[in-house]
Structure 1
Amino acid sequence: MTEHILSERRGDVLVLTLDRPDRLNAAPPAMFVELREALADLGGARAVLVKGAGRAFCSGADVGGGALGSADPGNATYEALTQSYNPTMLAIARLAVPVVSAVRGPAAGIGCSLALAADFCVASETAYFLQAFVNIGLVPDGGASWMLPRLIGKARATEMMMLGQKVPAATALDWGMIHKVVADEALDAEAFALAERLAAGPTAALGLMRRGLAEALDGDYESAMLREAENQRAARGTADSMEGGLSFLQKRKPMFTGA
């Protein structure tokens, strides 16, 4: 039983909804624990879609009480990050299936990190991305200082972090930070269709692509090519690879099973 998220299996897609619409889905540590638990057992799902209930994706960590009410707020914040938020971000990074995020309204703080951790971030025209930590004398977390420079470059990441201004969806798309911008009323259908398309793909190969892309960000050229060769060997041994080759020869659409 979860308190802060809704988990729904729709075909081969696991849909996880942040469910605190009255708080713009502000995320207490327990929400990220629930997310991690949901991701620990995909139950055969071949793609994951993360979205927010209501008019927001996630307005950031829930700082009402908690660390602010602690005798040692610095240590309380550290524990929340290292025991709740960060392990969940790592769990997303290490998933063997593709992840799509659907963003409307704010994706702020840890919500911004969560949205951008997806392989594909689909945003509505009302969406914006925000690193507002500077406005309250804090620093970005949830992996933002690693993620943003790699997505949009150091200058723009510095602008987001040090000026603390909203980045509208259209600007995020122009910067290469997200995959697509759609009308607000089309967001849910567009994001699910993308997740469904990925779920119908060669899941093992897509999982290897995720890992290869992540590792290549910190490796050298030679190491990246070696990883590609190793991943290609693993992909070549899958049933989906055999199906892909046969469908090409037979001039038909492949029917991938994720095996």
Structure 2
Amino acid sequence: MPPAAPAPAPTPEDEVLHRTDGGVSWITLNRPEAMNAVTRDQRERVIALLGAASADPDVRAVVITATGKGFCAGADLRGAPPGASAPTERVAGDVARMIRLGAQRLITAVLDCEKPVIAAVNGTAAGIGAHLALACDLVVAAEGARFIEVFVRRGLVPDGAGAYLLPRLVGPQKAKELMFFGDAVPAAEAERLGLVNKVVPGDALEETARAWAQRLAQGPTRALALTKQLVNASLDGDRAAALAAEAAAQEINMTTADAAEGVAGFVERRTPTYRGR
């Protein structure tokens, strides 16, 4: 008998599942055999899906989650594009360029997404996987989840915006402790530190993320997007810039149909119905 044909190589659509349900874009990392260590193709698909969510008025919220026991074990350093060969000589600037175009683009896509993004962390989130979760606007974690700043274990500097995100979440002293030692932070401790909004039993993770996402999807989407931008920017600028941005955001928001509906609902003593417009 002839040998069996090799199984077809998985596609990016296989390794990052996607569906839209009730105005919520669900992005699911799907390489459980690799603890969802993210490849270049997966990264590019996640970035594209986040961009599509921003541009689609019918998408009102996003959930990023994963299959299996791990949320994301970091970057898959073996995941070079097919046919790519290792460079024979490293030129100064190569690594910085790789990080800018790779891990930093992924985290920036989450931070800049114009819809609220929830991380539903089902298991270990390490390295860039931890930063992917922490860049999200809300983080729900299963009881068995762990967060690990794994870079120091490899003799590396944290990348993928880790040194930007962590001090803003837990303060500089605690951020240094996490990054200097690389110890695993269990979900309950992560919640106590402020890395996680809520910890739930593993079998309640999807249900909890869905409930939060549906609440967000029923909210005033443009107001939420502007609020996200204001909060993110407030950590980087001074008070005058923050207040100017706040006033400009409210000016923009008052042109939306949802703002008019919210005011009308208040005046008429009824619950407003937001359409994300």
Is TM-score (shorter-chain normalized) higher than 0.5?
yes
Deviation at 1:80, TM superposition (A): 3.6
Q: Distance in 2 between matches of 1:193 and 1:151?
A: 24
Matches within 5 A, 1:30-179: 30-42=41-53, 43=56, 44-64=58-78, 66=80, 71=88, 77-179=95-197
Computing the radius of gyration from Cα coordinates, the structure with the larger value is 2
In structure 1, distance between residues paired with 2:108 and 2:259: 28
Q: CA separation in 1, counterparts of 2:52 and 2:42?
A: 16
> In structure 2, how many angstroms separate the alpha carbons of the residues matched to 1:81 and 1:232?
35
Cα offsets for 1:102-137 (capped at 9, x unmatched): 002111000001001110000010011110111111
Determine if contact 2:60/2:217 at 8 Å carries over to the other structure.
Answer: yes
Task: State the alpha-carbon separation in 2 of the partners of residues 177 and 72 from structure 1.
Answer: 40
Number of equivalenced pairs: 259
Residue 235 of structure 2 aligns with which residue? 217
1:22-47 Cα distance to aligned partner (Å, 9 max, x none): 11100112211111111222232111
TM-score normalised according to structure 2 size = 0.88
Q: Is the 8 A contact 1:29 1:80 kept in 2?
A: no
Identify if the C-alpha distance between structure 1 residues 121 and 68 changes in structure 2 by more than 3 Å, giving closer, same or farther: farther
Please tell me the residue identity of whatever aligns with 2:35. Answer: L
Cα distance, 1:142–1:72 mapped onto 2, change above 3 Å: farther
The residue number in structure 2 matching 1:19 is: 30
Structure 1: which 5+ residue stretches go unaligned? Answer: none
Q: CA, structure 1 residues 236+167, in 2 after alignment: closer, same or farther (shift >3 Å)?
A: same
- Would the alpha carbon gap of residues 131 and 186 (structure 1) be closer, same or farther in structure 2, given more than 3 Å must change? same
Q: Secondary structure at the match of 2:71?
A: coil
Consecutive unaligned residues in structure 2, runs of 5 or more = 1-11
Q: Secondary structure at the match of 1:2?
A: helix
Identity value in percent: 38
Of 198, 202, 207, the residue aligned with 1:180 is: 198
